[in-house]
Amino acid sequence: MRDTIGREITYLRISLTDLCNLRCVYCMPPEGVRKQEHRAILSFEEIEEIARAAVSMGVRKIRLTGGEPLVRRGMLSLCRGLREIPGVEELTLTTNGLLLPEMAEPLKAAGVDRINVSLDTLDPDKYRKITRIGSLDQVLAGIRAARDAGLTPLKLNCVLIGGFNDDEIPALAALTRDEPVEVRFIELMPIGHAVPFGPEAYLPCETVLERLPRLERAGQDGGVAERYRLPGAAGTIGLIRPLSRCFCRQCNRIRLTADGCLKPCLHSREELPLRGLHGEQLRAQLERAILHKPEQHAELSARSRSQAARDMNQIGG
Ligand code: SAM
Ligand code: SF4
């Protein structure tokens, strides 16, 4: 289905939980978040019903996110259910990677096509600092497990944070030299726990182009990333610039929160509750959400915050 300015909505992001086994400083409070009552979050049956309705209206790609999607118990059975929906062309997920050593193969067997793993630094001390509790070795083992299980092409999400990881741009980009991975540099967005960060933290992706002058254009990725390549490299570099180059005109996504609200736009306050709706009523509410998708969100910058009413762990990126 198309929205009011002709964007075809083909991509549904589903947050499975607000909970996470990390506490990234830009995303979560140090103490984590309180576990919601089981009935406060959508059951797998409810998620599947909503996904089926969305697919019947033109969604072809589904991404599971969170919080950390791999910590939701039984999520493999949800993956199998989503995979069986006729019309789903791609089932993916975004994960911090910690649980991949044991879950990569089962995820592949459950029908997940490929995954994005978040990796902001290659330095074990800095990894601990940014995630507060994580171990870099564990993520690297998870990335290897994902590659071995065939959850490829792998994408590695790196949030650029001035003064924290800009010195690692060349080292992170070098991961693409021999392996067909995509390292995606993402501009830090002023949402939730990132809002109090100082202006120096909000680095534009232009910095990547300055630090890597030999990068060559490799086209768009069909989504929101601009794609580049180091000369002769097996993999690619993606730049995602929500602040410095607004991509609202290309936005083809809608988002489902773990408690059953549909967000037409990541950075808008607007949410439409879907819980309790079935059949035509559910489809009508989805249609309403798509038609309510704002043409563009308010400007984002180091000094103007997102208008989203939730933290990032409650939306899923
Ligand atoms: N737990 C999973 C993970 O970290 O990959 C999935 C959920 S996480 C909210 C999804 C993505 O959003 C991660 O790549 C994370 O780094 C990114 N993210 C979180 N807060 C952000 C912010 N303020 N600006 C830009 N990206 C952010
Ligand atoms: Fe957890 Fe992902 Fe948020 Fe980090 S970015 S705290 S891994 S949900």
Q: What is the pLDDT of residue 121?
A: 98
Paired tokens of 80 = 């199998």
Cα distance between residue 316 and residue 217, in whole Å: 29
Cα distance between residue 305 and residue 191, in whole Å: 6
Residue 71, ligand 2, Cβ within 6 A: no
Distances (CA, A) of 181 to 33, 115, 157, 205, 273: 32, 11, 11, 19, 37
* Tokens 């563009």 belong to residue: 296
Nearest to 262 by CA among 77, 9, 22: 9
Rg (CA), the chain: 19
Whole-structure pTM value: 0.97
Query: Along the 317 residues of the chain, how does pLDDT read in single tens digits?
Result: 999 999 999 999 999 999 999 999 999 999 999 888 889 999 999 999 999 999 999 999 999 999 999 999 999 999 999 999 999 999 999 999 999 999 999 999 999 999 999 999 999 999 999 999 999 999 999 999 999 999 999 999 999 999 999 999 999 999 999 999 999 999 999 998 998 899 999 999 999 999 999 999 997 777 889 999 999 999 999 999 999 988 888 899 999 999 999 999 998 899 999 999 999 999 999 999 999 898 888 778 888 788 887 888 889 88
Amino acid sitting at position 138: Q
Q: From the CA of 24, which ligand is nearest?
A: 2
- Cβ proximity of 109 and 150 under 8 Å: no
Kindly report the protein residue whose alpha carbon is nearest to atom 4 of ligand 2.
24
- Cβ proximity of 97 and 119 under 8 Å: yes
Atom of ligand 2 nearest to the CA of 68: 8
**From ligand 1's centre to the CA of 281, what distance in Å?**
32
Which of 98, 157, 266, 313 gets mutated to test ligand 1 (max ligand atoms within 8 A of its CB)?
A: 157
Q: From the CA of 312, which ligand is nearest?
A: 1
Atom of ligand 1 nearest to the CA of 22: 1
Q: From the CA of 63, which ligand is nearest?
A: 1
Q: Average per-residue pLDDT in the chain?
A: 95
What single-letter DSSP state applies at residue 188? P
Atom of ligand 1 nearest to the CA of 316: 9
